[in-house]
Amino acid sequence: MNLNATCTKREHWTVVARQHRWVAGATITESYNADDITERRFTATIRGFQNWKIRQGKNVPDCATAVADVVSRVKAIRDRIDAGDEAVFAEPNEYYKPQSVV
């Protein structure tokens, strides 16, 4: 069995910005893939809970749409935490990946 065939290349992500004021009670971090700078990833720390995976995908021509999507997803998670909904912690933590823009 060839073990090298099952291994994948580790991606290297570089932080672009940390947005503290997009959503109250959350810090959103934007990173890009060092191997493909057109791909962006957004993660968040919400109410002290780290590493919420928010969105990952290629840059889009309309940046405002991507930002609005990130903000709405973070607000939804924050509101559930504030409401005491502990089910939010049991759900899969996966990136939302929008369809690529042609």
**Residue-range definition of the domain harbouring residue 49:** 10-89
pLDDT by residue for the chain (102 residues), tens only, comes to 444 444 455 678 888 888 888 899 999 999 988 888 888 899 999 999 999 999 998 888 878 888 899 999 999 999 999 999 999 999 999 998 887 544
Asked if residue 65 belongs to a domain, the reply is: yes
Asked if residue 98 belongs to a domain, the reply is: no
If one counts the domains in the chain, the total is 1
Asked if residue 102 belongs to a domain, the reply is: no
Asked if residue 26 belongs to a domain, the reply is: yes
Asked if residue 100 belongs to a domain, the reply is: no
- What is the value of pTM for the model shown? 0.80
Asked if residue 15 belongs to a domain, the reply is: yes
Contact 51, 93 (CB under 8 A): yes
Asked if residue 97 belongs to a domain, the reply is: no
Backbone φ and ψ of 53, nearest 5°: -85, 120
pLDDT at 100: 57
Asked if residue 79 belongs to a domain, the reply is: yes
Tokens, residue 67: 């930002």
pLDDT at 10: 62
Q: Is 48 left (phi over 0), alpha (psi -120 to 50) or beta?
A: left
